[in-house]
Amino acid sequence: MFEHITASEIAGYAVGALLLSATISAPKIDSFISSSQRSSLGMCKRCGDLKLIACSKCKGSGLIKEGGPFNLIPIVGDNFDFGVKTKSPSSCANCRAKGHSSCPECSKSL
């Protein structure tokens, strides 16, 4: 039953799992270190004293592309629209197309 699985395939799975776990853990470690560094320096944990935080909705671009954050992956299904070739990105309502908003942590302390 398992004869068709070769050693290289098993190695491929192992590397894939390793890369996946590294990808998941890396941003968490990075944010943990940076937040502790910021607090030790007396900086705002949220924005690092920039007084601005990148918009979470448009990822700082100020533009919203139709289809949401997963629009890089083509979804083939009932909702797949063959008629639409290009959708022009619309300006982000969350940050009024600025790409950032003022830090709530800093603005409340003022």
What distance in Å separates the CA atoms of residue 91 and residue 63, rounded to the nearest whole number?
Answer: 4
The residue within the footprint of Zn ion, chosen from 38, 57, 65, 102 (CB under 5 A), is 57
The residue within the footprint of Zn ion, chosen from 8, 17, 46, 102 (CB under 5 A), is 46
- Please check whether residue 62 is in contact with residue 91, taking contact to mean a CB–CB distance below 8 angstroms: yes
* Residue 106 interacts with Zn ion (CB under 5 A): yes or no: yes
Nearest approach, Cβ of residue 78 and Zn ion (Å): 29
**Radius of gyration for the alpha carbons in the chain, expressed in angstroms and rounded:** 21
Q: Which residues bind Zn ion (CB under 5 A)?
A: 44, 46-47, 55, 57-58, 92, 94-95, 103, 105-106
